[in-house]
Amino acid sequence: MLRLYDEETGNVEEITTARPGVVRVACAGGLRALLVGDLIRRLADHHGLRAIGVWDDVPGAADLGVRPAELTAGDADVHVGAAVGRCSLASADGLDPLALRLALLQRHYRSDVDLSRQDLEEADGSLVSWRREVAGWAESPGRPLNREWVREAVAALDDDLDTPAIFPMLSRLAEDDSVPPGAKFETVIKLDMILGLDLVALVGRL
C-alpha cells in the first residue's frame, strides 16, 4: 500500500484513511502539488480505492493531465503541499504540455527543481520516443500484461512516489526480449493509467 513522507514524524509511513476503501486527497499550492495529488489518486485507483480529490481548480492543471477534483473543500486523508519541493519552470511554449508532467515525474516530488527550456525539450523528445515505441508494440499480436513488471513499478510508486525509478525500469522493459511486444504494450498501458502521460497517443497514427 502507498507510503508517503509525513512532515510531522519525518518518516515515510503508510497512509491511513477515515473510511474503508476511500481516500481523500487535498492539495494546497501550485501545479506541482496538484500533479502529486493527481498521481496519488491514480495510484489509489490502481489499488482499488475510491480516490476523491479535494482542491480548487488551478489554471494549467488540465494541460498537465490533472483530472478535476470532485470536491473543493472538506476533510482529507492525505494533504499534499508542505512536502512538495520548490519548482521553477521555463516556458514550455510549443511543446507537448505533458512534457512538463514527464519532466516533473522524472524528479522526486520532494526535491527542488529548476527546469530549463532544455530540460523541457528533452522531456518532449522522450515523450515522442516513448509514444513511437508503444505504437510499434501495438502492431504486434496481443499478449497479457507482464505482472512482474507492473508489480515492480507499483512497488516503487508505493514507496513515497518514487517516480524517477519508473523510467529506467520502462527502458529495461523495452529491452527485455523475453517479454513479447504485445505484452509490453499492455504493461505500459496499465502503468500509464497511473503516470498519465498518454503514451498511446500515436497508436494507429504512424
Q: Which residue blocks in 113-198 are alpha helix, DSSP H?
A: 117-137, 147-158, 166-175, 181-195
Final residue in a domain of this structure, among 37, 61, 84: 84
**Average pLDDT over the chain, rounded to whole?**
95
**Residue 206 clears pLDDT 80, i.e. is over it:** no
Q: Kind and range of the H or E element at 99?
A: helix 97-105
The whole-number average pLDDT for the span 6-11 is: 88
- With respect to residue 11, please indicate whether it lies within any of the assigned structural domains: yes
- With respect to residue 108, please indicate whether it lies within any of the assigned structural domains: no
Helix/strand/coil (H/E/C) assignment for every residue in 27-47: ECCCHHHHHHHHHHHHHHHHC
**Residue 41 clears pLDDT 80, i.e. is over it:** yes
Per the structure, how many domains does the chain have?
2
Report d(CA 41, CA 194) in Å as an integer.
Answer: 8
The residue range of the domain holding 52 is 3-84
Question: Residues 6 or more apart from 181 whose CB is under 8 A from it?
Answer: 136, 137, 139, 140, 143
- Residue written as grid cell 475510491: 50
- With respect to residue 48, please indicate whether it lies within any of the assigned structural domains: yes
* Whether 72 and 133 share a structural domain: no
Q: What is the pLDDT of residues 65-121, one digit of tens each?
A: 999 999 999 999 999 999 999 999 999 999 999 999 999 999 999 999 999 999 999
pLDDT at 29: 81
Which residue, among 66, 187, 79, has the nearest Cα to 130 in the 3D structure?
187
